[in-house]
Structure 1
Amino acid sequence: MSETVHRDARIPEAMAGQRFDQVAAEIFADFSRERLKGWIKSGDLTLDGARAKPKDKIYGGEQLVLTAVVEDELRFEPQAIDLDIVHEDAAVLVINKPGGLVVHPAAGNPDGTLLNAVLHHCPALASVPRAGIVHRLDKDTTGLMVVAKTLAAQTQLVEQLQARSVSREYDAIVTGVVTSGGRIEAPIGRHPKDRKRQAVTASGKPAVTHYRVTERFRNHTHVRCKLETGRTHQIRVHMAHQRFPLIGDSLYGGRLKLPPGADDDLKDLLRGFPRQALHARKLAFIHPESGQRLEFRAALPDDMLMLLDYLRDDHETMR
C-alpha cells in the first residue's frame, strides 16, 4: 500500500541561515531526514514553488510545499514484543515504555524495537511514516509515549509538538541537593568531539526545561521536569549542565559521588544502577480526531521506587 501526502508550511524567520534539508527535517519531523532529502532532490518538496538543493541557504519566510507518495514501511519486520498499552482508540496508541527498549531501528539495533512491536500490534501502521511514532524516549528512559495510528493523526500530533502544546513531564533522580525549582534555557546541539553526546552549545537549537523539587535527600534530589522543547537527551544534558546529573547516566553523569557514611546496600545500588533515573510520568495532548484534551500518567517503575526508598532511609538514618 502507499499514500499520497500533501503538506505546506511557511518557514519561520528564526530559521534564517540554516540549510534547506535541516529546516525541512524540523518542520516535517514525522519524516526521516533521508526521506526528506530524497524528496528535495526529486522535486516533491519545493521551496517557494521551485526546486532547490538540500544544502541551499534559507532566508526565512519561504513557503514549503510537499506532495509525495509514502510507501509502506515494509522493510521493518513486525515482531511479537509485549507492550504496556495505557490507551488505544482508532487514532492513537499510548504506551508505557519499559527501560531497555529502543524506539526505532538504527545501526546496532536493526530490530527488537518499539517500532517492530507496534507493527505487530497494528499492521496498518505499515502505511504510516515511522509506524506512527511522533516522538521518542531514550532506550533506558521509561514512561509514556503516543503513537499515531493514521497519517492524519500523525500530522496533527506533530503540529502539536511543534506548537509546544503537548505536555510532557518527567520524574528524575539527580546527584546533588537542588535547593529550588527553576527554568533552564540553554541551546542543545551535537557535542563538538563526541557524536554520541549532546551538549549545551551556542550553535545548538533552542531548548527549555522547567524543573521543581519533589523530595530532597542528603546528596540527591527527586525532581519533576517539564519539557517546553524536545531536544535529544534534553533533560539529561540540561540537568548535567546545572551540575545535577541524573543517577545512572553513563553519558552525562560524570564521576560517581557516594553519600559519606552511607551503608553498603545504598553504595552498591548507586554504583550498579543500570540506567539514567528518568521516567516520563505524564503526557497530555489534544486528541487528533475528537479535539478532547487527554491526559495520562504512569507510575514510577520499580527500580526508581527502590532507589527512592534507599535514599529516604539513608536521609532519615543520618539526620
Structure 2
Amino acid sequence: MTSPEPTTAAATRADVDRAVLRLAPYARRTPTLTTVIDGHVVSLKLEHLQLTGAFKLRGALNALVAGQERGTVTDRVVTASGGNHGLAVATAARLLGLNAAVYVPETTPEAKARRLANSGAELVRIGEHYAVAAAAARERAERDNCPYLHAYDDPDVVAGQGTIGVEVLGDVPECDAIVAAVGGGGLIAGISAAASPKRRAIGVEPQGCQSLHAALAAGEPVDTPVDSVASSALGAARIGAVPLATLGAHPAATALVSDAEIVSARDRLWEEFRLAVEPAAAAPLAAWLAGRVSAEHPCLVLCGANADWIPA
C-alpha cells in the first residue's frame, strides 16, 4: 500500500496504540476464555469471532483508516489474499465507504471464496498460488492508479494485528505468553510489538510452511515450500520484510507442529468447547499440547474460522 517512507520498517508499540484508537469504532473486541486443559490453566483468545471470522480485519481496517488520514486512500483499494485478508479488506472497505478488488488463487477454499463473492468486493480468481494472484493484483493497482494493500508486509497492517496483544494483556494480565500461528508473520510480529517484556510472543508454524524459521536461519526473507492442511491461511511462501524487522526489534520464540497435531487440536477444540475453527487457528493449541510452548499460563490465539469442516 502506498504510504510515506517510514523511519523504520518495524511496527512499534506506539503504532499498535494508535491502531487501537482507529479500530475502536469498527472492530469487535473479541472475548478471552480462561479454562483448564489437561490440568493446566490456559486462556483462549476467541478471535475467530471477529467480524469476517478472522483477525485480518484488524490490520486491513488500521491500514485503510491510516491511509485515509494521510490522503493516500480515497475511493478504491486492491489486494491479494488466500481468503481471510481479502474478506477483511472487502469488509473494511465497505465499512469505510470504499470500493475493493480482491485477487485470490484459484485454489482458495470455497468457504472463503463464497464469503468473498458475497462481500460486495470485486473477486478475481487467478493462478494456483498466492504469488500469482499478488502479482496480478499489483499490476491492477498500478494500472488503476490506486493503492495495493499487502496482506502482511505493511507496518499499518502489522500494528493493527498487534491490537490483539493489547486486548489479551488487558483481559488476562496474569498470562506469561501469547501464542499465535505464523503465515506471512504480520500477526506474531504485531503481538510481539504489543507484548510486555514479561510476556513472550510465540509463533507456531506447520512443518510444511516454515517461512519464519527459514528467514531466521537465513537472516532475511527467503522462499519456502508450502504444504500443510493449514496452507490456505498460513501458506505464505516467504515472511514479510516488515514482520521480520519487527521481530528483530521485538523477538518471539517459535515452534513447529505437524498437520496431524493441527487436526487433532482443531477437533479437540470442538469436542471440549464447541469452538469451530479453521486449521490455522488450532496450531497454537497443537504446539501447547505437544509440550512446545514454555509457559505457565499461555494465551492461545484462535485466529480464524473461515473453513468448512466435519469433526473427526
User: Which category describes the TM-score, using the shorter chain as reference length?
Assistant: under 0.3
For the pair shown, the structure with the greater C-alpha radius of gyration is 1
**TM-score of the superposed pair, with normalisation by structure 2:** 0.28
**TM-score of the superposed pair, with normalisation by structure 1:** 0.27
Higher strand share: 1
Higher relative contact order (CA 8 A, sep 6+): 2
